Amino acid sequence: MPFGNIGVGGLIVILIIALIVFGPSKLPELGRAFGRTLGEFKKGTRDLVNNEDDNVEDMKKAEEVKPQPLAADKR
């Protein structure tokens, strides 16, 4: 749990350090890039979960439709 409890004070310190390192002109650009990255990550995660759900549903449907034995196999 190293990053679980950052809190308001920790966020302020991180913001001040980022402001010192990158400067006030680059900070909005970095925020936008971080927001886009986070959005793409969420979208990818959502797609993976949806694909998993689809695969589970396909497997259930395949189990419901059991193959019928052929007449030649009944010897």
37 falls within a domain: yes
34 falls within a domain: yes
Could you list the residue range(s) of the whole structural domain that residue 42 is in? 26-62
Instruction: Using the predicted structure, report yes or no on whether residue 62 has a pLDDT greater than 90.
Output: no
Classified as helix, coil or strand, 30 is helix
Average pLDDT over residues 3-15: 83
10 falls within a domain: no
| Residue 6: predicted pLDDT | 79
Q: How many domains does the chain have?
A: 1
Instruction: Using the predicted structure, report yes or no on whether residue 65 has a pLDDT greater than 80.
Output: no
Average pLDDT score over the chain:
80
| Residue 3: predicted pLDDT | 58
Residue 6, class by beta-carbon neighbours within 10 Å (0-12 exposed, 13-18 middle, 19+ buried)? exposed
Average pLDDT over residues 49-70: 71
Give the model confidence (pLDDT) of 31-51 as tens digits: 899 899 999 999 988 888 888
